[in-house]
Structure 1
Amino acid sequence: MRNIFVLLVLLLSISNNAHSATLFATVDSLSGKAFVSADAMQWKAVSVGQKIYEGQTITTDDDGEVHLETVDGGIIAIRPDTEFRVDEYKAEGDADDKVFMSLLKGAMRSVTGWIGKYNASGYRVTTPTATIGIRGTDHETTVIDETDGDEAGTYDTVNEGETVLKTKYGESVVTPEKFAFAPRYRAVAPVLLAQRPMFWAKRKLVIEGLIPQRKAQLRDRIKQLRDDRIKQREKMRDKSTGQAQTKKKEHAKEARKEMRAKQRKQAEQRRDVLRKEKSRNATQGVGPEKAERIKREQRPRPEQKNRN
């Protein structure tokens, strides 16, 4: 019974942590099988409409494709046989908005939202051999081991805009229809390829055709999405401020109530002392006025103090 209780507490804790994490995206389209996990231990099948959060990892089977619509109006297309992770995400319409992602294996396409448009320095894709930064773009990144004719490493190509493929050995700027490559096992800077890698022609994508229309729809809405997010944030802040002010007033009211109660108690204590003193004086045959006069007469006079 105790083990069952501990398990229930653990499951509730995991559930609460998932809901408290930052929302990253919603699953817009799905083909084949894909799974999501927050801890790489418990995996759940991905479904259309599902929420994806910061810190979660998505994996796809050989036939799996997942399209995500991010909070900032971007698109992430996760290809078959891929492992993708959301490292850090903040989309509040601020200058410090960011989207940091990791592509551990496989391939992804990223159409940036307002973060890429307004804060390109806050966008990063990390792979086992390189990082990719952008300048307002639609790009595709692939991480492979050695295959037929293609060297292991990170490949990046651009559909629109620019990317910068970086390693500790150097960097390469990638423009539309170009491919850059960062080798996994050679200590050299990224290079631009003279032709497409061979794996490119072997790709089999089922729902790729949905992206152009979705991209056009989101592009027209990016500014509005950002403005709406800013308004929502300000509304929540105002609500939070109002709640804080209400709590402050309640605390002040409670403090005044406690002070009045304390004052009443002190007054009652003083009255009790007077009643007891009056009763004692009455028992001794001395009235309160006379008792007070006697006390005054017994006090030393100033001239007596000086003599002493």
Structure 2
Amino acid sequence: MRRFAFLACFISVLSLGFNAASANDKIGTTIKATGTTTAYRLNLIYAQRNTDPVFFGDELKTGASSRLQVVFNDSTELYLGDHSTLTIDELVYIPNQKGQALFSLSQGVFRMVSGAINKIAGSSFRVRTPLATIGVRGTDFWGHQTEDKLILALLDDGEVEISTQEGDVTLSTPLSAIVIEKDKPLGQVFQLSQEQVDQAKQTVE
């Protein structure tokens, strides 16, 4: 009986060790950080500066007049603008194998250019916000989440599949965009002008 109890305890310790290791895996690198940029990690807050690593589970935040740019291990690029909060819920990347990426944007403005994970058949790449779940298929896209409104724009080839409580819509034409408002029917997809695209990019660059 004692032997079985010891084995159960040993297995439990091993499991905790593996979980802790996965939570500390480096999954990306900060290549730009200006203003107030932080990472909430393992119940501690760290200043996030140029060349600092990014880890699974990090909650990345920016303050006023701040910018943060991260490149993940699969070459996915993330840009955050002012007053933004984004959590890395999942990022599994092994070259030439199916992978998974899941990010949660609580608020703010972001741009993502998907990398290798999105180029392998069967992989999953998603972004969640308070108003929508966004499935991404190999593209460059931009979004701005406020308390009751989400604006999404497709900046390049590919697709952005958007699921909301009010329905679903897919952006598949470059420079197409949509405004999603809380407790309102889905708006119409519209085309951005080049000036509007430039303005959107400036919010995160």
- Please classify the TM superposition score into its range, dividing by the shorter chain length: 0.7 to 0.9
Residue in structure 2 matched with residue 162 of structure 1 by the alignment? 159
Correspondent of 2:169 among 168, 172, 182: 172
Q: Secondary structure at the match of 2:119?
A: helix
Residue in structure 2 matched with residue 64 of structure 1 by the alignment? 66
Q: Secondary structure at the match of 1:47?
A: coil
Residue in structure 1 matched with residue 92 of structure 2 by the alignment? 90
Residue in structure 1 matched with residue 53 of structure 2 by the alignment? 51
Change (3 A) 1:57 1:123: same
Give 1:42 deviation, angstroms: 2.3
Within 5 Å, give how 1:195-214 maps onto structure 2. 205=202, 208=205
Correspondent of 1:74 among 73, 76, 79: 76
TM-score, structure 2 as length reference: 0.78
User: Quick one: distance in 2 between partners of 1:37 and 1:165?
Assistant: 28
User: Quick one: distance in 2 between partners of 1:153 and 1:170?
Assistant: 15
Of structures 1 and 2, the larger Rg is shown by 1
Matched residue type, 1:164: E
Residue in structure 1 matched with residue 40 of structure 2 by the alignment? 37
Q: What percent of counterpart residues are identical?
A: 21
> Higher relative contact order by CA 8 Å / sep ≥ 6: 1 or 2?
2
Change (3 A) 1:63 1:142: same
User: Quick one: distance in 2 between partners of 1:83 and 1:144?
Assistant: 11
CA offsets, 1:208-264, max 9 Å, x none? 2xxxxxxxxxxxxxxxxxxxxxxxxxxxxxxxxxxxxxxxxxxxxxxxxxxxxxxxx
Q: Please say if residues 30 and 49 of structure 2, whose CA atoms lie closer than 8 Å, have aligned partners that are also in contact.
A: yes
Higher share of residues assigned strand: 2
Give 1:169 deviation, angstroms: 2.9
User: Quick one: distance in 2 between partners of 1:207 and 1:133?
Assistant: 21
For the aligned residue pairs, the C-alpha RMSD in angstroms reads: 2.8
Change (3 A) 1:83 1:61: same
Correspondent of 2:110 among 105, 108, 111: 108
Residue correspondences, number: 184
Matched residue type, 1:125: V
Matched residue type, 2:28: A
Structure 1: which 5+ residue stretches go unaligned? 1-12, 146-151, 209-308
User: Quick one: distance in 2 between partners of 1:203 and 1:138?
Assistant: 12
Q: Secondary structure at the match of 2:44?
A: coil
Q: Please say if residues 38 and 56 of structure 1, whose CA atoms lie closer than 8 Å, have aligned partners that are also in contact.
A: yes
